[in-house]
Structure formats: structure tokens, C-alpha cells
């Protein structure tokens, strides 16, 4: 591989006392044996970070670089291509050491630490605009302390990239050459639904050096594009880690820019990555190779088309969620999404169409199954595809997809597409399906999809909520959904004969099921 994931770190002390020296670390990409690209978040403790925050277009002169610390780059040990004359002796020695079964020559115990200097730092205008247009209300990667100040600094550094030279500190060297080399190695990002692999070193701990996490591209922001959302799980310190396509070739497509973020007080749960093709093309002022962007396979394209033409954005006042189009102008969503329908109109958005809707049926507040049936003018939705409900029950462990609208640009709803996350079924009961898909506000009422062996898209369940503690903490990777088998037949009968009594069968009054949805223990009274 021409590039590899590394850990980038330096020593830092706020008051100059050696006793208070801290190690600051992030992940990075080493390429061409000499250069390392990392993310601007590594600068956050330094006074130089505030120079960047306080200037819209910072001019980073020689004085800026003169005060930056020496950087340490931790890499995996390379396998020597030159035969070791003592190799057979070392192997015999290990075999005779019967007291310890651990192979201390394993690569996980062998690392290299290189030194270098920061020779260039810059802001990416594409990512900077994305922060202003979409991430303006987000909280970026805070821990303890003044969250507001940390968020402002985090947003300012989100679009900053740092280049480290491992061989010399001559900043007169043209830094565009290595960035041009890296551009030749980078491929355009894959489409939504494609699998990716992140290599990173969370928490700045070499024990986790180059940890691999896999997930899918949940959303692509911007035409160029400017940001990738993935459900590949990462942690603080993963910023700067490379994002590869999954598979034997592992082509480099992005760099992690944010591993932990919050929105409306809720943990987002997704990793934000910058598409390096767009970032480097903007820096070098060359046109990005949009025409060479990899196209999804025919089966993947059909899956995305089905999901996009079935999943609807539902808005009611300040609340919003997702819905499943059933055909004939009917949309199924969650009751809590349209709780205030008597005070606010309900709007539906999907594939360049906006229409109002009325509530045809809604379960009582705070009761299972928390479903609502909406009706709108069917003549405006002829371009959508009615959902196909799964006939076979869910199986624990099977792979599924979730779709919803957690984030969207109010100004640009024409390009609205659902965010798609992947996971598996954690648990199954006749009245609840639990999945590991990453789910946040805006997924309520959205579908859980099963993709069968013939690439047919089936709605397995409707998302109700993720897990929340009484203290308000949210867990996006633990969520609950209503199985399609509990409501699909009743809806189908109602749509045929318009008999309202068919809908009342959806609201289940059994105490055991109500207790299950309140996440309470249920015990037999016998």
C-alpha cells in the first residue's frame, strides 16, 4: 500500500513546567515515505490554533511555523526485505522459551517512531462552507470544560489540514509537490451505501495503533462533494485517519475530520470524513475528477433507487421525522412526529415534491405502537414506489439498513435524500425489533429495510426511537422498531375497503407489550 495510517503526536505544556507535560495526538496518513497528512484538530491546545480561529483567511507565515513543536509519527514496523542472518537463531530461541506463549516478535509489539516538522497548514474552503451551511448548530467533539469555546475552536479547525515533513524542516520547500503526489493516489469517494474502512488510533494510544473499523457511506454532502457521513465507529483521536474503500485494493478516498459530535443535545454517532479528492483539488486549484467517480453496481443502484423513492421526510411544526410511502397517497410514520398536527400543518418532501397531508389515524400518545397514517394527494406522488413489506419475520443477527432524515439543508431541499445506515438485528420479539443501525432524531417513522438474496428491498419494521437514559444520554446504536407483521395486514385491508375499524387493531392494549415498549421489566403474575 502506497499510504498507511499512523499516529501523530507531540509534547505540550500549558505553563511550561516539565512536570505538567501532556501528549497531544491524532491519527494521520503517511505517504511517499516522507510526508504525513493529518487533521487540524491536533493544533487545538496551541496558541497558533486561535490564530486560525480568529482569522477568516489566516496567513500562516514563518513565525507561525517557528513556534510549532516537533512532531512524533508512530508507524507499524516494516518487514525487512533483507534476510536476517540471525533469523533461525532467534526463532530457535523463541521456541525454547516455554515460559511464555506470547510471540513478542508479533507486529503489534513492534513500532517505529519518526520525527518531523509541520511545514504547511491550510483551510479547505469547500469544507469551511459546509461548516457554515450545515454544521452551524452542531457541537464538535467536546469533553469537559467550556463547551461553547471548544465547539467554536473545533469548527474553526474542522476544515484545517496539516502537512508534516519527516526528512527536513526546510519550509522553503514547495509543499504543493507532495500534495500533488497524494492527489494522484486518491480516488473519488464512493456513493451512498458503499462499504468503507477507517484506519485510526483512538485516544492517542499506540495500543490501538491503526485500529480498523468498517461501515457504509450513509450520506454525501455537496455536489463536489464536501463531506462524507459514515457509520464506521471511531473515537476521539481518530481525526486524521485514512478512509479506504473496502476490499483487497483498499483505495484511499477520505480523511476523518470529526469522530465525536452532538446536535440538539444528541450524540450524532456518525463519523465525518473529508473526501480527499475534493480537498486536494481545491488546494491545488485543479478540477476534481467528477467524471471518474465510481458508480454503484446495478444492484446497489436499484437498492438506492427503491429506498429514495419510498422514504419520505415528514415535518410538523418544529418536529420532523421520516415516513414510508404505501401508495395511493398514504404515508406511515410515527405518532410522536405528528403529535401537534392540530396546531401545525404536516408537510411531506420527497424527490423534489412538497405536499401537505392530513392525519388519517394515530395511536394514542405514549402507547404502543406509536404509529400514524397520513393521507395526501396521490396525484403528486406517482413518481414514488409503494413499500413492499417483508413476509418472513426478522431473524436475530441478519443485516439490515435504516433510512431517515436526521440532517438536511433547509435552503436546498431539491437534493434531499435519506441518510442510510447499516447494522444488524440485535433482538427480535413479535412486538419489537432491536437493531444496531445508527439512528438519531429524524429517523422516527423511517423504515428498517431487509435486502433479500435477489436484491429486493423489503420493509421489515418502522423505527420508533433509540435508547435514552433518564439523564438524557442517547445511544444511537441501540434502537427499537415496530415489526411490519404487526400492522401491514391492517393497513392493506384499510386501503382496500376504507374501513376505519381495521386501523384500531394496530393499537395493542396488552400490558406485556406496553411494558416492553416502556422498557420496563415484565413478569408473569402466576
Lowest-pLDDT choice from 3-7, 144-148, 270-274:
144-148
Per-residue pLDDT band for 524 (boundaries 50, 70, 90) equals very low
| Rounded Cα distance, 218 and 307, in Å | 12
What's the helix, strand, coil split of the chain in %, to 5?
A: 25, 35, 40
pLDDT digits (tens, 9 = 90+) for 361-391: 999 888 888 999 999 999 999 999 999 999 9
One-letter-per-residue 3-state SS of 116-157: EEEEEEEECHHHHHHHHHCCCCEEECCCCCCHHHHHHHHHHH
Structural contact between residues 325 and 312, judged by C-beta atoms closer than 8 angstroms: yes
Radius of gyration of the chain (CA): 26
Residues 6+ apart with CB under 8 A from 293: 188, 189, 191
**Mean pLDDT value across residues 162-174:** 74
Give the whole-number percent of the chain exceeding pLDDT 90.
55
CATH code matching the domain that covers 3-78+110-292, chosen among 1.20.1440.230, 3.30.70.1050, 2.40.10.120, 3.10.20.30: 2.40.10.120
Beta strands (DSSP E) in 410-516 are 419-429, 432-435, 447-451, 457-468, 474-483
Structural contact between residues 170 and 260, judged by C-beta atoms closer than 8 angstroms: no
Cell numbers describing residue 520? 420496563
What pLDDT score was predicted for residue 9? 96
One-letter-per-residue 3-state SS of 20-34: HCEEEEEEEEEECCC
**Mean pLDDT value across residues 56-67:** 74
Residue of 21, 10, 151, 124 whose CA lies nearest to 67? 10
Is the pLDDT at 256 greater than 70? The verdict is: yes
pLDDT digits (tens, 9 = 90+) for 263-310: 877 888 999 999 999 999 999 988 866 545 566 678 888 999 999 999
- Pairing between strand 3-12 and 71-76? antiparallel
Structural contact between residues 423 and 302, judged by C-beta atoms closer than 8 angstroms: no
Is the pLDDT at 525 greater than 60? The verdict is: no
What pLDDT score was predicted for residue 88? 66
Is the pLDDT at 146 greater than 80? The verdict is: no
| Rounded Cα distance, 57 and 53, in Å | 9
Is the pLDDT at 19 greater than 90? The verdict is: no
Structural contact between residues 324 and 459, judged by C-beta atoms closer than 8 angstroms: yes
Per-residue pLDDT band for 52 (boundaries 50, 70, 90) equals confident
pLDDT digits (tens, 9 = 90+) for 423-445: 999 999 999 999 999 999 899 99
The whole model's pTM is what? 0.86
| Rounded Cα distance, 374 and 329, in Å | 8
Residues 6+ apart with CB under 8 A from 447: 310, 311, 322, 324, 387, 402, 403, 459, 460, 461, 462, 463
Strand partners, 161: 39, 122
Lowest-pLDDT choice from 140-149, 408-417, 472-481:
140-149
Cell numbers describing residue 482? 415496530
Is the pLDDT at 169 greater than 60? The verdict is: no
Distances in Å between the Cα of 483 and the Cα atoms of 42, 334, 430 are 45, 13, 7
Is the pLDDT at 145 greater than 70? The verdict is: no
Lowest-pLDDT choice from 59-73, 261-275, 348-362:
59-73
Domain ranges in the chain? 3-78+110-292, 298-526
Lowest-pLDDT choice from 107-116, 174-183, 208-217, 248-257:
107-116
What pLDDT score was predicted for residue 131? 86
Assign a CATH topology to domain 298-526: Thrombin, subunit H (2.40.10)
Q: What is the DSSP string of 192-252?
A: TT-EEEEEE-GGG-GGGTTEEEEEEEEEEETTTT-EEEE-----TT-TT-EEEESSSS--E
Q: How many CB atoms lie within 10 A of CB 274?
A: 28
258-261: long-range contacts, CB 8 A cutoff, minimum separation 24: 258/140, 258/141, 258/154, 258/158, 259/141, 259/200, 259/202, 259/234, 259/235, 260/141, 260/142, 260/235, 260/236, 261/135, 261/138, 261/139, 261/140, 261/141
- Number of helices and strands (H, E) in the chain? 11, 27
Work out the mean pLDDT of the chain and round it to a whole number. Answer: 86
Structural contact between residues 179 and 278, judged by C-beta atoms closer than 8 angstroms: no
Is the pLDDT at 112 greater than 60? The verdict is: yes
Give the whole-number percent of the chain exceeding pLDDT 70.
85
pLDDT digits (tens, 9 = 90+) for 308-339: 999 999 999 999 999 999 999 999 999 999 99
Amino acid at each position: 500500500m502506497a499510504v498507511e495510517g499512523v499516529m501523530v503526536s507531540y509534547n505540550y505544556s500549558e505553563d511550561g513546567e516539565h512536570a505538567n507535560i501532556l501528549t497531544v495526538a491524532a491519527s494521520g496518513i503517511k505517504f511517499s515515505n516522507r510526508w504525513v497528512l493529518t487533521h487540524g484538530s491536533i493544533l487545538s491546545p496551541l496558541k497558533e490554533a486561535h490564530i486560525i480561529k480568529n482569522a477568516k483567511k489566516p496567513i500562516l507565515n514563518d513565525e507561525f511555523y517557528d513556534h510549532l513543536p516537533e512532531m512524533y509519527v508512530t508507524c507499524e514496523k516494516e518487514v525487512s526485505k533483507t534476510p536476517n542472518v540471525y533469523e533461525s537463531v532467534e526463532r530457535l530461541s523463541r521456541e525454547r522459551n516455554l515460559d511464555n506463549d506470547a510471540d513478542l516478535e508479533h507486529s503489534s509489539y513492534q513500532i517505529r517512531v519518526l520525527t518531523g516538522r509541520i511545514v504547511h497548514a491550510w483551510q479547505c474552503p469547500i469544507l469551511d462552507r459546509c461548516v457554515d451551511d450545515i454544521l452551524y448548530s452542531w457541537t464538535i467533539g467536546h469533553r469537559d470544560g467550556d463547551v461553547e469555546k471548544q465547539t467554536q475552536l473545533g469548527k474553526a479547525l474542522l476544515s484545517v489540514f496539516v502537512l508534516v515533513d519527516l526528512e527536513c524542516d526546510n519550509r522553503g520547500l514547495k509543499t504543493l509537490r507532495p500534495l500533488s503526489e497524494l492527489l494522484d493516489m486518491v480516488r473519488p469517494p464512493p456513493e451512498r451505501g458503499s462499504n468503507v474502512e477507517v484506519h485510526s488510533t483512538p485516544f492517542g494510544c499506540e495500543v490501538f495503533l491503526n485500529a480498523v473499523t468498517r461501515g457504509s457511506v450513509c450520506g454525501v454532502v455537496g455536489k463536489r462533494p464536501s463531506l462524507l457521513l459514515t457509520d464506521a465507529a471511531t473515537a476521539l483521536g481518530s481525526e486524521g485517519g485514512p478512509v479506504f474503500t473496502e476490499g483487497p485494493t483498499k483505495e484511499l478516498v477520505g480523511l476523518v475530520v470529526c469522530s465525536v459530535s452532538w446536535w440538539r443535545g444528541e450524540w450524532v454517532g456518525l463519523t465525518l470524513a473529508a473526501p480527499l479528492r475534493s480537498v486536494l483539488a481545491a488546494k491545488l486549484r485543479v478540477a476534481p475528477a467528477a467524471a471518474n467517480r465510481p458508480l454503484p453496481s446495478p444492484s446497489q443502484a436499484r437498492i438506492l433507487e427503491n429506498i429514495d423513492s419510498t422514504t419520505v421526510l415528514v415535518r410538523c411544526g418544529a418536529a420532523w421525522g421520516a415516513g414510508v410511502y404505501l401508495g395511493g397517497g398514504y404515508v406511515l410514520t410515527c405518532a410522536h412526529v405528528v403529535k401537534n398536527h392540530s396546531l401545525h400543518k404536516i408537510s411531506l418532501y420527497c424527490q423534489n415534491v412538497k405536499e401537505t397531508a392530513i392525519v388519517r389515524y394515530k395511536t394514542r400518545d405514549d402507547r404502543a405502537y406509536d404509529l400514524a397514517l397520513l393521507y395526501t394527494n396521490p396525484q403528486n406522488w406517482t413518481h414514488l414506489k409503494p413499500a413492499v413489506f417483508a413476509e418472513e419475520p426478522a431473524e436475530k443477527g441478519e443485516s439490515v439498513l435504516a433510512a431517515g432524515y436526521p440532517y438536511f439543508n433547509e435552503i436546498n431541499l431539491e437534493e434531499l435524500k435519506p441518510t442510510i445506515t447499516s447494522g444488524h438485528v440485535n433482538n427480535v420479539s413479535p412486538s419489537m425489533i432491536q437493531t444496531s443501525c445508527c439512528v438519531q432524531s429524524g429517523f422516527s417513522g423511517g423504515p428498517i429495510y431487509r435486502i433479500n438474496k435477489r436484491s429486493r428491498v423489503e420493509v421489515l419494521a418502522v423505527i420508533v426511537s433509540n435508547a435514552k437514559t433518564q439523564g438524557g444520554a442517547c445511544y444511537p446504536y441501540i434502537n427499537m422498531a415496530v415489526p411490519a407483521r404487526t400492522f401491514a395486514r391492517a393497513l392493506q385491508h384499510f386501503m382496500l375497503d376504507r374501513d376505519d375499524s381495521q386501523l384500531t387493531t394496530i393499537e395493542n392494549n396488552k400490558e406485556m407489550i406496553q411494558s416492553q415498549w416502556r422498557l420496563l421489566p415484565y413478569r408473569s403474575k402466576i
